[in-house]
């Protein structure tokens, strides 16, 4: 995708720009988000830059169409624009679907809350309110008093036991970018490690690679 200073660049420049551009970063973020069972850190700066670039290319295309430039070139730019828009939309969509799925968990766990953007937090609160209200009206108000909580089974429960949580034990396919050595088990138990060379593919439980994904050393596929 053309950057702001080289909008009318030739096709050679275009190719070299693609390899380290925001599109690649967006694709990587999108792939990780799609494969992970829980919500990952929001790439705010990346999304902003992607939005700006999309707007810019849209304007350029309109310009070209009005000036009657080569329609093949215009439709190539259009296709590339469509693809990038799809990436951005799908990224945001996958995050929203994860928020919807684990509504109450995301608002309770501080770690998850930190990973949401401002607007996503507003969305999550409103979503949870809607669902709680729906539950109350359909079921809870008709039940006897001690059993009317949305999050707890009854007043006697000590923790909120009715909150679905993401399954961190699911297996995922991942590839590492550097040499990484990870603990296979929880701390305190037998410290077996798995060592990954650069470019190795592994089919492993999500919990183990969680930290490495956040620091960018491992990618999910």
Per-residue contact flags (x/-) with another protein for residues 99 to 128, judged by CB under 8 A: -x------------------xx-xx--xx-
Q: What are the structure tokens assigned to 126, written together?
A: 């409103």
Strand order of the sheet with strand 218-220? 201-205, 171-176, 218-220
The vertex-66 CA angle with 65 and 71, nearest 5°, equals: 25
Per rule CB under 8 A, is residue 34 in the interface with another protein? no
Question: Least distance to another protein from the beta carbon of 75, Å?
Answer: 7
142-171 binders of another protein (CB under 8 A):
142-144, 147, 153-154, 156, 162
Cα separation of 171 and 207, whole Å? 9
Phi-psi region of 175 (alpha: psi -120 to 50; beta: other; left: phi over 0): beta
Told to check if 62 binds another protein by CB under 8 A, we report no
Among 41, 60, 85, 183, binds another protein (CB under 8 A): 85
Nearer to another protein, 39 or 208 (CB): 39
For the segment 171-200, give every residue that binds another protein (CB under 8 A): none
CA of 43: how far to CAs of 25, 29, 71, 157, in Å? 10, 8, 35, 38
Task: Identify the burial level of 221 via C-beta atoms within 10 angstroms of its C-beta, where 0-12 means exposed, 13-18 middle and 19 or more buried.
Answer: exposed
CB burial string 56-69: b at 16+ within 10 A, e below: bbeebbeebeeeee
Q: Cβ 196 to another protein, closest distance in Å?
A: 30
**How many H helices and E strands in the chain?**
8, 5
Could you give the maximum distance between any two Cα atoms of the chain, in Å? 73
Please select the residue that binds another protein; options are 51, 114, 167, 198, rule is CB under 8 A. Answer: 51
- Interface with another protein (CB under 8 A), residue from 13, 52, 114, 134: 134
Applying CB under 8 A, the span of 34-42, 80-88, 197-205, 213-221 interacting with another protein comes to: 80-88
How many residues bind another protein, per CB under 8 A?
A: 38
Q: How far is the CB of 141 from another protein (least distance, A)?
A: 10
Q: What is the contact surface with another protein in residues (CB under 8 A)?
A: 51, 75, 78-79, 82-83, 85-86, 88-90, 92-93, 96-97, 100, 119-120, 122-123, 126-127, 130-131, 133-135, 137-139, 142-144, 147, 153-154, 156, 162
């Amino acid at each position: 995708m053309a950057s702001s200073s080289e909008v009318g660049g030739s096709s050679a420049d275009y190719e070299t720009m693609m390899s380290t551009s925001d599109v690649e970063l967006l694709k990587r973020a999108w792939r990780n988000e799609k494969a992970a069972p829980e919500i990952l850190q929001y790439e705010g700066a990346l999304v902003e830059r992607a939005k700006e670039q999309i707007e810019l290319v849209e304007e350029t295309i309109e310009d070209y169409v009005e000036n009657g430039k080569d329609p093949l070139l215009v439709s190539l730019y259009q296709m590339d624009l469509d693809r990038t828009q799809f990436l951005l939309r799908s990224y945001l969509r996958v995050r929203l679907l994860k928020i919807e799925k684990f509504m109450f968990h995301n608002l309770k766990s501080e770690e998850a809350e930190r990973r949401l953007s401002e607007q996503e937090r507003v969305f999550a609160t409103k979503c949870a309110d809607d669902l709680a209200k729906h539950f109350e009206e359909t079921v809870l108000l008709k039940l006897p008093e001690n059993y009317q909580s949305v999050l707890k089974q009854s007043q006697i429960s000590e923790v909120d036991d009715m909150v679905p949580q993401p399954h961190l034990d699911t297996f995922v396919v991942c590839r590492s970018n550097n040499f990484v050595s990870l603990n296979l088990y929880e701390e305190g138990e037998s410290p077996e490690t798995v060592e990954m060379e650069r470019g190795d593919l592994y089919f492993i439980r999500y919990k183990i690679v969680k930290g490495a994904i956040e620091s960018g050393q491992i990618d999910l596929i």
